Amino acid sequence: MRDPDKLALRSEAYADFLSGMNSSAVQTEYEVLHLMRQCTAQFGFSHFMIARIPFGEQQRFAERLVLSSWSSELVREYDSATVFHSSALIERLRNTKLPLFGETRSLLNPEAPAALDAVEALFAGQAMRNTFAAMLHTTYGEAFAILLSGSRSEPDRAETADLYLTLLQIFETLERTFDVGGSARDKLSSREIECLRWAAAGKSSDEIAIILGISVYTVSSYFKTATRKLDSVNRMQAIARAMRMKLI
């Protein structure tokens, strides 16, 4: 039987969290990152990530990642495993409108037994035994997966509803930051877009220089200015944002 006092305390804490969120004032991805950290802690999880739902084959996880509290090492190693696009979890999200809860090992690819042990080991020491997952869509229909992971048990129906509503509000705020960043479309030069496009295709700076008939120094300069205009911290993030904005 549920403890009414415990439920009342939880509802009060949730109400305080929502009232303090003030999502209308949030304008940047950094601020959304802070909201996600608050949400993750509020509901008793330890890790979160938001990524665009992959389509087709062999799409890199790191390039589809939008926000995350995963360590850079975990992102890199999970990306190297190339199992995100074909994971059981992503397939289940594609076939339901409801949030899911289960073992984080469902992120693994059941069709690649050789990779299971290596990928499962990535999550073993991360306090990420269980995962709450939901698929949300932008106004234009682009699908995103939102995952909260931790060692806690499955939320009941009332808490699931609270959590799902909170994620909807945060995601709506995140989508607004996409629109704010849209001005970069007008700021990026054609050369900067070309460099990003070739880099997304796996070309090195040396190869891009040969393709475009310019020096490696000039290629690096284009990457630096494109990264700044896209409000990114490095080339990989700039490529991911350019893809999300459909610039490349």
Q: Per-residue pLDDT tens for 100-157?
A: 999 888 776 656 566 666 677 778 777 888 999 999 998 878 899 999 999 999 999 9
Residue 135: predicted pLDDT: 95
Contacts 24+ apart (CB under 8 A), 79-82: 81/109, 81/115, 81/118, 81/119, 81/122, 82/58
What kind of architecture, by CATH, is found in domain 4-180? 2-Layer Sandwich (3.30)
| Span 2-19, average pLDDT | 54
State the Cα–Cα distance between residues 122 and 205, nearest whole angstrom: 31
Residue 22 has pLDDT above 60, yes or no: no
Residue 159 has pLDDT above 90, yes or no: yes
Residue 120: predicted pLDDT: 75
Residue 23 has pLDDT above 60, yes or no: no
Residue 228 has pLDDT above 80, yes or no: yes
Sole residue written with tokens 């080991």: 121
Based on the number of CB atoms within 10 Å of its own CB, is 148 exposed (0-12), middle (13-18) or buried (19 or more)? Answer: buried
Residue 56 has pLDDT above 80, yes or no: no
Query: What are the structure tokens assigned to 49, written together?
Result: 């990530």
pLDDT: which is higher, 180 or 40: 40
Fold of 188-244: Arc Repressor Mutant, subunit A (1.10.10)
Residue 2 has pLDDT above 80, yes or no: no
Instruction: Provide the pairing of β-strand 143-150 with 47-52.
Output: antiparallel
| Span 55-73, average pLDDT | 80
Residue 172 has pLDDT above 70, yes or no: yes
What are the sequence ranges of the domains in the chain? 4-180, 188-244
Contact (Cβ atoms closer than 8 angstroms) between residue 39 and residue 29: no
**Cα distance between the two ends of the chain:** 54
Find the range with the poorest average confidence among 15-29, 31-45, 90-104, 230-244: 15-29
Q: In angstroms, what is the C-alpha Rg of the chain?
A: 20
Confidence of residue 1 (pLDDT cuts 50, 70, 90): very low
Query: What are the structure tokens assigned to 143, written together?
Result: 């699908």
pLDDT: which is higher, 60 or 227: 227
User: Hey, which bits of 17-124 come out as E strands?
Assistant: 47-52, 65-68, 100-103
Q: Rounded to 5 degrees, what angle do the CA atoms 97, 102, 105 make?
A: 115
Based on the number of CB atoms within 10 Å of its own CB, is 219 exposed (0-12), middle (13-18) or buried (19 or more)? Answer: buried
Q: How many CA atoms lie within 13 A of 163 on its CB side?
A: 27
Neighbouring CB atoms inside 10 A of 27's CB total: 12
Residue 131: predicted pLDDT: 94
pTM confidence score: 0.68
Contact (Cβ atoms closer than 8 angstroms) between residue 64 and residue 52: yes
Residue 73: predicted pLDDT: 84
List of residues 6+ apart from 208 with CB closer than 8 A: 194, 195, 198, 199, 219
Percent of the chain with pLDDT over 70: 79
